[in-house]
Every structure is written in structure tokens, then in C-alpha cells.
Amino acid sequence: MPPAVTGAALAAAPDPLKAIADLAITAAAPELLALSHRLNDEPELAFQEHRAAGWIADALGAYGFAIERGTAGLPTALTARSGTGALVIGLCAEYDALPEIGHACGHNVIAAAAVGAALGLARVADAAGLTVQLLGTPAEEAGGGKALMLERGAFAGIHAAMLVHPGPFGVDSVPCRALACAGLTVTYQGLAAHAGAHPERGRNAADAATVAQVAIGLLRQQMNPHDRVHGIVTAGGAAANVIPDHVTLAYTLRAPTLAALRRLERRVLRCFRAGALATGCRVAVTHDEPAYAHFEGDRDLEALYTANLVAIGGRPTPGPDHPPGFSTDMGNVSLALPALHPTVGIDAGDAVNHQAAFAAHSRGPSADAAVLRGARAMARTAIDAALTARVRARLLAGRRRT
């Protein structure tokens, strides 16, 4: 465990429990940054994060946390628990990477900050009347790990959940805004034929896909300005003189709320059916993962986090002035229990999330600072939530304030 806090340090601190948590995080900083770098150096994709989940479980197990591996039936999910207080604070650790570009969304920072906050809170959990529970949540980039864990009861008994997510331009922002999101796989099945001899005997799956894409392009003129529809052809086609009998598309839909997402999806599905109708092909549409809900942050947690970030030298902004464009399965959690999802800014030059250059900056000095800043701010926020009577009572009662 980190070294004991001296009486002089406690006397000089505005809040003794926050001082203990701060010092515990500082003492563990070399381990936290090493973990962040290791995750960044050895990226793993959705539901394949076996090394990452093992490193996190081992790190917290060494500090006396009770560890459950394979939480909710997901081999790369985990739960680590410490404390006996009635108020249970969940810290979500994401650690999946993106294909080919690695940790270009900085999930190594998210995981290391969550581990740091957990270590800080473990030192004061009983004194603050709380239990800290870290949840290792796989497959945020694709797969909806948190949505699956939520459905399977992994968040049961947790009164509030939080994480910090790295963002570009060195800007810390509160609150989070995120769109609801659904991923679709669209497959057209036609009939192959010679393109020059008896083409009328074929049913062109590529033409079906083209009709659908044109229809979606026209639909964009009447969509809600904050709705998003984007997709690519992932498989199909043949030689130039063969009418292709199958084509597969991957599409992502986004909208400001789950209800708006369902309305958008109904309109887009009509476009896909139009392609099949026009060409005589069959079409099948499947959902790639659970739908991601829009995010609804808890106002009390956001206010407490903002105050604590300022107290440790951060300069939070109210968030971007442009419409949201990203999505997260933390949105599903936020509709079920009070949740917090601020951004910790790193200096990534001109790079932004989901660019290869962002992955390199996610293990640089400003990312290291973000790990420790995020860990301290989350730990302090949890302590305030536990010790502020009104907030504690509301969280224990299971009520959100959005």
C-alpha cells in the first residue's frame, strides 16, 4: 500500500480524506503511468483485451482489491472491489483499441486514471462511507461492452459510475455530450450472371447497394441537422464481366437521443429496402452490437468534478461549442444510474481522436499528466459525493439528476 499520511500533511489539507487520496495516487504514479504506457504499446481490439484485463486485475489485486475476472460472462471484463461503505462508486476502465491505429482514442489513459482513482479511494473508502468498485469494460469502440454488462447485471448495486476520457487540444471539458448510435450490417443477395451474355438473367447486388446509397444521399437533405448516417461497402463485387450476386455494407447511424435514433433508423431501412425492390435482390439487415444511448450526465457529479478539477489546478471548459459527434456505451449506463464522463485534455498537436498520431500522444507527457489529473479529480468527486448529505441520499435512493 502507499505510505501512511503524516499528521502535518493532514493538518495542512483543506479536506483530510482528499489529501489521503491525493497522496495515494501520487505514490502509485510510477505504476499508473507504466500501466498506461504498456496498454498503449500493446493494443488489443474489442473483446480480445486479455492482457489489458489481466494487467489491471493484477495491479489492483496487489493492493488488496477483491477481483472477479470474466464479469457478466465476458472473458475480458473484470470487477475489482474495496471498502465496506453503503455508497458504491463505480469507476469504468476502458482499454480496447482501434484496428490498425491502436490507442488512437486514448483508452490507455482511461484505464490508468480509473485504476489511480480506485487506489486513492480505497485508502479512504470506509472513512467516507463508500465502497469503490472498478469495472473493466471491454469493447467500447465496437461491441458495446458496457451495454452488455448493464443488461447482465454488472452495474447492479452501483449508485454512481464515472470515467474520464482523453481529448485533443489540451482542453478539459465538462459536461459530456454524446449521440445515440447504432451499427448496421446490410447484405444484398442477388443472382450472378454474365454481364455481356444474358445479363437479364442476373440480379445485381451491387446495383441494389448503389440504389440504397443514392436514396440515403437524398434522405440527408431532410434529416435532422444533428443526425448522422455514414457507411462503406465491406464485401462483394466480382470481375467486371460478372454481375455480382452479393454485396455487404456497414453503416453507422447517430442521433441526439435514442428515440430520434429509432426514427432515423426506420427511414434508413426504407432506403435499404428500396435498393432490393428496384433490383429484385433480397436484403438482410442486422445490428452489429447493442445500440449506444445518448449520454445524460448527472448535474451534481458534474458540478463536484468541476470544482475539484479547479482545486487541483485544472481549467475546465463547459464543453465544445459544436454539436456532438461521438458516441459511447457509457450513455447506456447514464440512463440507468447517475454518471459522469468528462474530458481530460492532452496536447496532441493537430491530431484528434481516431487519428494514428493521437495514439502516440496518448503515451506522452501531457497524457501522463491527464492520467494523474483525472484520477485525482474523480477520487475527490467521489469523496464529495459520499460526504455531501443531499447528494449521498439521492445517490443511495437511486435517483439521477440530469
Choose one of 225, 253, 287: the last residue of a domain.
287
Q: Are residues 351 and 254 in the same domain?
A: no
Choosing from 287, 305, 340, the residue where a domain stops is 287
Distance from the Cα of residue 238 to its chain's centroid: 38
Do residue 239 and residue 305 come from a single domain? no
Average per-residue pLDDT for the chain:
94
The pLDDT of 183-188, averaged and rounded, is: 97
Range of the domain at 207: 180-287
Counting the structural domains of the chain, the total is 2
Q: Please check whether residue 101 lies inside any domain of the structure.
A: yes
Q: Which of 107-121, 166-180, 215-229, 314-328 has the weakest average pLDDT?
A: 314-328
Q: Which amino acid is at 157?
A: G
Are residue 138 and residue 228 in the same domain, yes or no? no
End-to-end alpha-carbon separation of the chain, Å? 37
**Cα(166)–Cα(106) distance, rounded to whole angstroms?**
6
Burial class of residue 100 (count of CB atoms within 10 Å of its CB; 0-12, 13-18, 19+): exposed
More confident residue, 198 or 109: 109
7 pLDDT more than 80 = no
pLDDT at 321: 57
pLDDT of residue 11: 36
CA angle 110, 374, 37 (to 5 degrees): 45
Please identify which residue in the block is written with the cell numbers 462508486: 89
Instruction: Summarize pLDDT for 145-175 with one digit per residue, the tens.
Output: 999 999 999 999 999 999 999 999 999 999 9
Do 40 and 134 reside in the same domain of the chain? Answer: yes
Residue 324 CA to residue 67 CA, distance in Å, equals: 36
* Spatial distance between the Cα atoms of 210 and 51, rounded to a whole number of angstroms: 42
338 falls within a domain: yes
What are 353-393's pLDDT values in tens digits? Answer: 999 999 999 999 999 999 999 999 999 999 999 999 999 99
**Do 190 and 64 fall into the same domain?**
no
Indicate the helix (H) or strand (E) that contains 22: helix 16-27
Task: Identify the pLDDT of residue 239.
Answer: 79
Asked if residues 234 and 255 have their Cβ atoms less than 8 Å apart, the reply is no
Residues 279 and 186 in one domain: yes
Region 112-118: mean pLDDT is 98
The verdict on residue 153 lying in a domain is yes
Judged against a pLDDT cut of 90, whether residue 127 lies above it is answered with yes
Tell me, yes or no, whether 2 lies in a domain: no
pLDDT, tens digit, for every residue of 31-68? 999 999 999 999 999 999 999 999 999 999 999 999 99
User: Of 239, 271, 287, at which residue does a domain stop?
Assistant: 287
Judgement on whether residues 125 and 219 belong to the same structural domain of the protein: no
Specify the residue for cell string 464515472. Answer: 162
Co-location of 232 and 321 in the same domain = no
Domain with residue 194: its CATH number is 3.30.70.360
Give the tens place of pLDDT for each residue, 302-347: 999 999 999 999 988 886 655 677 999 999 999 999 999 999 999 9
Q: Which cell numbers in the block locate residue 256?
A: 441526439
Same domain? For 54 and 160 the reply is yes
Q: 385: which 3 cell numbers?
A: 459525493
Let me know whether 22 and 109 are in one domain.
yes
206 contacts 276 by C-beta, under 8 angstroms: no
DSSP code of residue 71: G
In a domain? residue 1: no
For CA atoms 358, 360, 363, 367, the dihedral sign is: negative
- Predicted pLDDT of residue 4: 39
Say if residue 38 is exposed, middle or buried (CB neighbours under 10 Å; 0-12, 13-18, 19+): middle
- Judge whether 15 lies within some domain: yes
Give the model's pLDDT for residue 315. 87
Predicted TM-score (pTM) of the model is 0.92
- Does the pLDDT value for residue 24 go beyond 80? yes
User: Once rounded to an integer, what is the mean pLDDT over residues 172-179?
Assistant: 93
**The predicted structure's pLDDT at residue 319:** 66
**Torsion, Cα of 94, 292, 315, 131 (10° steps):** -50
Residue 104, domain member (yes or no) = yes
The reply to whether 115 and 207 lie within a common domain is no
Cβ atoms of residues 68 and 79 within 8 Å: yes
The answer on 211 and 70 residing in a single domain is: no
pLDDT at 236: 87
The predicted model gives 275-290 an average pLDDT of: 96
Answer whether residue 402 is part of any domain.
Answer: no
